[in-house]
Structure 1
Amino acid sequence: MGDDSTAPVRTRVRWGLTFPIALVLILLNAFWVIRAERVGSGPFFSTISLFANGLFLLSIVLLLNWPLRRFAPKLALSQGELLLIYAMVSVGGALAGQDMCSALLPLLAHPYQFDNATNNWLERFGQFLPKAVMVGDTPTEKEALKLFYQGHSTLYTPEHLNAWQTPVLLWTGFVAVLFWTMLCLSVLMRQGWQDRERLPFPVIELPIQLTEQKKDTLWTNKLFWIGFGLVACIEVLNGLASLYPQLPTVNLQHTDVAGTGVFATSPWNAAGFTCYSFYPFAVGLGYLLPLDLIFSCWFFYLFWKAQLILSRLMAWDVTPDFPFVREQAFGGYIALLVFLLWNGRSYFAQMWKRIWKEASDLDDSQEALSYRQALVGFLIGFLVMVGFFAWMGLSPLVSFAAFFIYIALALAVGRIRAELGPPVHDLHFSGPDHILTRSFGTPAFSGQDLTILTFFYWFNRAYRSHPMPFAIEGLKAAKDVKMSQKVMFWGLVLAGAFGAFAALWAYLHLSYDFGASGKMRGGQGFSAEGYNRLNGWMTQPQAPNGIANGAMVVGFVFCALLMIARIKFPWWPFHPIGYAISGSWSMNLVWMPLLFAWILKGLILRYGGVRMYRQAMPFFLGLILGQCLVGSFWHLIGWALDIQPYSFWGG
């Protein structure tokens, strides 16, 4: 798409119609996500880049919009309005995901509920807990917690509402500021990534094509319906087989081979959790990626497994966590960020001139905010986050360092999605809390600091449902359909604030119904991980881990060398982003579909060229939508029948 940043905005957006629809869907979607991921056993919508339930809700809106377009076009939603709704719902879904707000509430109550004479948690670190943002410190709150964990009750009693209202409002405000900060950062990056570097933003491609309103669209393409129908039929069969076990199935899900066959013997058992799978949606997403990245994802996945096996063979794994895959991947992420900043130095120089009202090549008149406003908004948001954790008791310097690392990782995740759009990007256990204590050792921090660092755990345990990419993808979609950046921006601001509140409400509602220690799953376990780690920090102080720090340096240097080689040699097949993301847990689930996508795309490009690649794309988009729609539908069926539904994705 050409650079038309000064072109007039042509797509209409009716705030009074679009925002209410989006807010209702955000509320329903938050309930749906937590119902699927916390009460049920999947599908785990928020652990993949393209949310299946978001596509499902978009398709429902499109279905309802179709007769309006035909019989009452003035009432029908435009493409810009549809994409605004989709973007807002996606942000709400990310915040409700199991690596964001649904991991928060149990963290606020866990030590008060599970302290006992064996662990002595409250005696050890109770005086450091930020009681103003937690629940359980008073007898009334303790009583409210009993039913929160037991269930068979209701949130809607004065005692329960009073116990939770202050923490919920405070944390809603924090999440809103967190997302505001990332939105301002997205405004600063959008023009450089989209208009200057022309990054493809693969994850938003399907929603854009689904909402097109010209004569020949994806919906009229035969190959699209062939791909959609093929996967839909398989998933209908699999769903029926979950209800009627006598029916055959076509297993598309991952199967763990750890502990079986050769993987039951040393050194091969060092590979750990290792899967094969056939997820069609991952094949479809893989087809949208550059060929070198698809190759690098599955190649470096096997590369990481080889490191683990070699470490067992050479007995290097007597050192705990060796070969420090997480730390190597973290170093790779930081290398990507450094190269991003270096390669964009001319863009940032022009932006700086624009901020100070000097002559500049950049025009920010069509952006959601001027660059000066975006920079000020970012700095204010960053300082508010630092101040919030300092108010909770974290040393200001540690708080600053922790959020600096978080923003750096958020920017790297956003860049990865914008440039390459992989199906997964989790980076488990690599957040600021982990990196700081590994790098400097736990004795470098006070008991107060270690306790408050634990409150980074809920939004840094993994980055599977990170909201940053959805912010910049929304702004990109607005530019593509010539929609006002300001409307998209403020819609996303509203989605961030309301989405956080909706997620916390939905979790509380379901917890008092099913019990956080009953049918609810995951959240309590995540909290136990965080507080057990804190207990370990205090009872068994850990010195700075020199080997782990060295692994970060190795990851940084290796990823940097890959980037240099990619620039120097056009034929170079190894992509640095593949190295950075393939050591993650989720890559276990999709490496084989990406291998299939690499083979298919490579053959198509070799024997049919770019023309055949474009002609075949609707088929692969059909694979994505077919599995996402039918998989989401089966969850709703299981929910309605009050049974464990078929789950197409077990991430």
Structure 2
Amino acid sequence: MALTKTAPHSDADDQTSGRVRWRAVILGLLLTVLICAYTPFHNCFRHGTPLGGGHFPLAPFFILTWLVILTAGIRCLFNARTPLTGRELLCAWVLMVIGSGIAYTGLARTFFINLTAPYHFATIGNNWAAVLQPLLPDGWYPADRQAITDLYNGLPGGRELGLGALMAKIPWQAWVRPLLGWAVFIFLCYGVMIGLTNLMSRQWLRNERMNLPLLRVPEMLETAFDQQQLWPFFEDRFLLAGLSIPVLLHLLNGLHFYFPQVPQVPTLVLAGPLFPQTGLFAGFYKLKIYIYPAFIGFAFLTTKQISASFFIFYLLGCLLTGLLGLLGFAIPAAALGTTFGPTLSHPEEMQMIGAGGIFFLFIVWLGRRHIVDIVAQVAGRQAAPTLETEWISLSGAFWTSLGCSIGLVAWCLYFGFPLLPALFLLGAGFMLLIVATRVICQGGIAYFTLTAAPIDGIFALFGSRFFTATGVLMAAVIQKVLFVDLRETLMPSLMHGAKISQATRQKRTMLTGIGLVLVLSVGVSFVAMLVLCYRYGLRELNLDWATRTTVGVYENVQTLIEQPMTPNRFVLSFAIVGAVFMLALVVAYHRFYWWPLHPIGYLTAYSSAARILWFSFFIGWACNTLCMRYGGVGLFKRARLFFIGLILGDFMMGGLWALVGIFMDTSYLVLPD
């Protein structure tokens, strides 16, 4: 019998087949655990650049870049197969991205303050003991008051204890019940997000062919690595020119941070004093110009229509403030009433409630045929096609989302949340998550914040009595856990993971890795934060913002309990204006190919992200426009390496200064917190 010689397996075979081995998943899990364990200490105690901040987090990309360089070096030195392909390195990176946000603003930053504030900050003056504490659900909060006191003050002698001795003294028994109870809520929410991402991915990624600007740089690193062109990539003169700018900038400013006698280059310009405090341009009185090279790079890689929309709508929002005052419609901030939005400060900003609702309906309308396919598969009238972007079948994702949603409602009912308000809260929360995911992924916004919170819109429509006193408190606390601060929310990272999984065969392997990384990230982040708080005391950490906003939530709850809110005509009026304006925008965007503005720019007009990034998007748009007008596609392809250099330089310097911060009392801040 003749024997056929089998050709040796090569890197090229893995690359063309889209193979992802378990070694990549395990590597991503291990690195995520390290990031989650160190992030609370670095961010809260060292005050350094957030390692997991935003939707293009620092630590995962810094690690990915060095992994690519080291793996390529191993291949070059030993002329051997690499232990990982570029696609596998990218899969490990996206696992780190998914888990890293949980350790900070995505969950852990405010979580323990949220669970202890109504006890620790209760005084005779605010009367929380009589008004709020009787409403607190059993099982949500630790019952041991001494455990709460030690969380804020630190354990006696905790700074001198070793890690093992410190962990032995932490009152774990006080935290077991609330942590397990909230873990059920958190993982049910994550289940809904995974199911929704699986349902939306084919429509967004294949049918609409949505660009994902935040993936451009990691994918270029992967391509250069797999094609063995990594060194020519890093030697490109355009890339080196772009890289040199943030390197020199942060080298000088970082040295100034530690040695004030070294001169610095200002990265913040207060442009407000150039404008009057009254008149048409009054809204520009607090205008600031931030210089972030990485965000200029992201703006260049985003389509011109989107990048232009971000800064144009922000400037128009500032102009509206002055115009209303000029026309005699200067509505005081007090007319807004009691709200929970992270940046909501004026009634006109409630346009975003109506705008967000209309844009969600626009997303549904664009995917109407895909929704019909989902219904047909769930009903069994249509066979499930081959998986393309999905981790599991559409019917499986539907039942996963539905089952986890029913579980969330049951969880709310178990703790005393009325049924109808719970349905409205969860529905509004996930609706805004879908809208925010579209804005972040399509717009390439690495730093995004909401203007209004989900319950702001519900209260404006129905008033606070709709929720009952207990419902108001529970809604505010639930919202604070996962639905209000979207700087590191999970769904955009899941969508990026779906895009990366698209070119792989082992989609179930990736889904298993995502499930494991979520469990490990939540567990490690909780333990790391508790260890940090009981060692140093929460009051000694860099958590003033988290404390202030959480206390503000309970103050607002008390206000609504004592003085229930009725539907607000000012808020409703601006919400209707926002809905009408967004409707006009989506019609113009969808019907007229020449229309210059994208609707998602309007959704960011009043967010803190727009205040920080508007100038970066202006510079990125201007450079993109000039390249295409005077050099065409050829110049654009060459020039984009310059802007990729800006991104690489910013994140490499952020990572290097974070390493320096390990040995110093504080750390130089490269990216926004």
Q: Same fold (TM over 0.5)?
A: yes
Instruction: Quote the Cα distance in structure 2 between the aligned partners of 1:239 and 1:145.
Output: 33
Corresponding residue for residue 437 of structure 1: 459
Structure 1 residue 286 displacement after superposition: 0.2
TM-score, normalization: structure 1?
Answer: 0.92
Task: Spell out, residue by residue over 1:142-183, the C-alpha distance to the aligned partner (whole angstroms, 9 max, x if none).
Answer: 454454599945751355221222222332332222122111
Corresponding residue for residue 174 of structure 1: 185
Corresponding residue for residue 580 of structure 2: 557
Of 331, 336, 355, the residue aligned with 1:317 is 331
Corresponding residue for residue 506 of structure 1: 528
Corresponding residue for residue 451 of structure 1: 473
Corresponding residue for residue 669 of structure 2: 647
Instruction: Quote the Cα distance in structure 2 between the aligned partners of 1:524 and 1:149.
Output: 20
Instruction: Quote the Cα distance in structure 1 between the aligned partners of 2:446 and 2:186.
Output: 25
Structure 1 residue 261 displacement after superposition: 5.3
Instruction: Write the letter of the residue equivalent to 2:289.
Output: Y
8 A Cα contact 1:102 1:504, kept in partner: no
Instruction: Quote the Cα distance in structure 2 between the aligned partners of 1:190 and 1:586.
Output: 25
8 A Cα contact 1:350 1:361, kept in partner: no
Instruction: Quote the Cα distance in structure 2 between the aligned partners of 1:353 and 1:220.
Output: 52
SS at 2:253 equivalent: helix
8 A Cα contact 1:266 1:312, kept in partner: yes
Corresponding residue for residue 3 of structure 1: none
Instruction: Write the letter of the residue equivalent to 1:289.
Output: T
Corresponding residue for residue 238 of structure 1: 253
Task: Spell out, residue by residue over 1:363-414, the C-alpha distance to the aligned partner (whole angstroms, 9 max, x if none).
Answer: 4377311111111111111122222222222112211111111111111122
Of 439, 442, 464, the residue aligned with 2:487 is 464
Instruction: Quote the Cα distance in structure 2 between the aligned partners of 1:184 and 1:574.
Output: 31
Instruction: Quote the Cα distance in structure 1 between the aligned partners of 2:541 and 2:366.
Output: 49
8 A Cα contact 1:424 1:586, kept in partner: yes
Kindly, what percent of the aligned residue pairs are identical? Answer: 23
How many aligned residue pairs are there? 638
Corresponding residue for residue 237 of structure 2: 222
2:56 is the alignment partner of 1:50: yes
Corresponding residue for residue 279 of structure 1: 292
Instruction: Quote the Cα distance in structure 2 between the aligned partners of 1:370 and 1:475.
Output: 13
Corresponding residue for residue 421 of structure 2: 398
Instruction: Write the letter of the residue equivalent to 1:519.
Output: L
Corresponding residue for residue 134 of structure 1: 141
Task: Spell out, residue by residue over 1:222-248, the C-alpha distance to the aligned partner (whole angstroms, 9 max, x if none).
Answer: 322221123212211211121222222
Instruction: Write the letter of the residue equivalent to 2:245.
Output: L
Of 61, 65, 70, the residue aligned with 1:64 is 70
Deviates more, 1:285-294 or 1:551-560: 551-560
> CA separation of 1:146/1:346 partners in 2, compared to 1, >3 Å: closer, same or farther?
closer
> CA separation of 1:462/1:312 partners in 2, compared to 1, >3 Å: closer, same or farther?
farther
8 A Cα contact 1:151 1:512, kept in partner: no
8 A Cα contact 2:153 2:539, kept in partner: no
> CA separation of 1:45/1:577 partners in 2, compared to 1, >3 Å: closer, same or farther?
farther
> CA separation of 1:585/1:378 partners in 2, compared to 1, >3 Å: closer, same or farther?
same
Structure 1 residue 415 displacement after superposition: 1.9
Corresponding residue for residue 30 of structure 2: 24
Of 157, 168, 171, the residue aligned with 2:168 is 157
Instruction: Quote the Cα distance in structure 1 between the aligned partners of 2:72 and 2:484.
Output: 41
> CA separation of 1:454/1:84 partners in 2, compared to 1, >3 Å: closer, same or farther?
same
Deviates more, 1:396-405 or 1:97-106: 97-106
Structure 1 residue 334 displacement after superposition: 1.9
Structure 1 residue 331 displacement after superposition: 2.0
Corresponding residue for residue 91 of structure 2: 84
TM-score, normalization: structure 2?
Answer: 0.89
Instruction: Quote the Cα distance in structure 2 between the aligned partners of 1:491 and 1:281.
Output: 29
> CA separation of 1:132/1:30 partners in 2, compared to 1, >3 Å: closer, same or farther?
same
Structure 1 residue 524 displacement after superposition: 1.8
Corresponding residue for residue 474 of structure 1: 497
Q: Give the alignment of 1:315-354 within 5 angstroms.
A: 315-318=329-332, 320-321=335-336, 324-354=347-377
Structure 1 residue 113 displacement after superposition: 0.9
2:381 is the alignment partner of 1:358: yes
> CA separation of 1:144/1:249 partners in 2, compared to 1, >3 Å: closer, same or farther?
closer
Q: Give the alignment of 1:175-194 within 5 angstroms.
A: 175-194=186-205
Instruction: Quote the Cα distance in structure 1 between the aligned partners of 2:648 and 2:400.
Output: 37
> CA separation of 1:231/1:356 partners in 2, compared to 1, >3 Å: closer, same or farther?
same
8 A Cα contact 2:277 2:285, kept in partner: no
Task: Spell out, residue by residue over 1:617-645, the C-alpha distance to the aligned partner (whole angstroms, 9 max, x if none).
Answer: 12111111110110222122123222x22
Structure 1 residue 486 displacement after superposition: 1.6
8 A Cα contact 2:170 2:534, kept in partner: no
SS at 1:276 equivalent: strand
Instruction: Quote the Cα distance in structure 1 between the aligned partners of 2:530 and 2:156.
Output: 12
Instruction: Quote the Cα distance in structure 1 between the aligned partners of 2:389 and 2:558.
Output: 51
Structure 1 residue 568 displacement after superposition: 2.6
8 A Cα contact 1:149 1:512, kept in partner: yes
8 A Cα contact 1:514 1:520, kept in partner: no
Of 418, 440, 443, the residue aligned with 1:417 is 440
> CA separation of 1:365/1:542 partners in 2, compared to 1, >3 Å: closer, same or farther?
closer
Corresponding residue for residue 4 of structure 1: none
Of 592, 606, 609, the residue aligned with 1:583 is 606
Task: Spell out, residue by residue over 1:556-590, the C-alpha distance to the aligned partner (whole angstroms, 9 max, x if none).
Answer: 22111111112232221121110111221121111
8 A Cα contact 2:433 2:483, kept in partner: no
Structure 1 residue 76 displacement after superposition: 1.4
> CA separation of 1:306/1:33 partners in 2, compared to 1, >3 Å: closer, same or farther?
farther
8 A Cα contact 1:280 1:627, kept in partner: yes
Deviates more, 1:144-153 or 1:285-294: 144-153
Structure 1 residue 206 displacement after superposition: 1.3
8 A Cα contact 2:151 2:538, kept in partner: no
8 A Cα contact 1:54 1:86, kept in partner: yes
SS at 2:34 equivalent: helix
Instruction: Quote the Cα distance in structure 2 between the aligned partners of 1:624 and 1:483.
Output: 30
Instruction: Quote the Cα distance in structure 1 between the aligned partners of 2:524 and 2:537.
Output: 19
Instruction: Quote the Cα distance in structure 1 between the aligned partners of 2:589 and 2:94.
Output: 33
Instruction: Quote the Cα distance in structure 1 between the aligned partners of 2:253 and 2:190.
Output: 38
Instruction: Quote the Cα distance in structure 2 between the aligned partners of 1:224 and 1:365.
Output: 34
Of 613, 629, 653, the residue aligned with 1:630 is 653
Instruction: Write the letter of the residue equivalent to 1:190.
Output: S
8 A Cα contact 2:279 2:323, kept in partner: no
Structure 1 residue 214 displacement after superposition: 0.9
> CA separation of 1:408/1:352 partners in 2, compared to 1, >3 Å: closer, same or farther?
same
8 A Cα contact 1:183 1:489, kept in partner: no
Corresponding residue for residue 371 of structure 1: 394
Instruction: Quote the Cα distance in structure 2 between the aligned partners of 1:113 and 1:177.
Output: 29
Instruction: Write the letter of the residue equivalent to 1:302.
Output: L
SS at 1:157 equivalent: helix
Instruction: Write the letter of the residue equivalent to 1:592.
Output: F
Instruction: Quote the Cα distance in structure 1 between the aligned partners of 2:317 and 2:389.
Output: 44
Instruction: Quote the Cα distance in structure 1 between the aligned partners of 2:541 and 2:279.
Output: 37
Instruction: Quote the Cα distance in structure 2 between the aligned partners of 1:245 and 1:406.
Output: 45
Structure 1 residue 118 displacement after superposition: 0.8
Corresponding residue for residue 3 of structure 2: none
